Amino acid sequence: MGLLSIIRKIKRKEKEMRILMVGLDNSGKTTIVLKINGEDTSVISPTLGFNIKTIKYHKYSLNIWDVGGQKTIRSYWRNYFEQTDGLVWVVDSSDVRRLDDCRAELHNLLKEEVYFYSCTVGRLTRLPSFQVLNLEVMDGSRHWKIVGCSAYTGEGLLDGFDWLVQDIASRIYVLD
């Protein structure tokens, strides 16, 4: 039995999932994590490096890795991929001048040999925003869904996390 098998067995027992939260700087990643956990979102500083937050979500324990999105640290995102079960790519659709950068970074991320299969794209509210990301080129081995939501109000966040958790659970906890 390999190390990966042992880790998966432990995860099955503990009902644990590792979620990677990435996107450009100031897109709302930290706000989403705090909002989903019912914490105060009135004062948030840019994430330098990463933050880890463990959240009980239904019958699962989500270890959410909130990784900074500044241009200088994006090349380090790949260091967080190992043992990641799902990814949340956060887009600020009101920041239209950076949507092309957002698409380029997402596609660079998806070119990596990644360990996650489920991807939720959040915070998109306008149809042109969906189209600029060019998600239809994503290979069929990944599951993905676009969920319009608001990090500020929390609207739609539970829909995105419900889908992500259910999708991951269907792959990892096949006997549930």
Active site residues: 70
The pair of structure tokens assigned to 175 is 């006997």
Count other Cβ atoms within 10 Å, centred on residue 111: 8
Contact 171, 160 (CB under 8 A): no
Largest CA-CA distance found in the chain, in angstroms, rounded: 50
Count other Cβ atoms within 10 Å, centred on residue 4: 10
User: Minimal CA–CA distance to 152: which of 101, 93, 72, 84?
Assistant: 93
Beta bridge partners of 56: 61
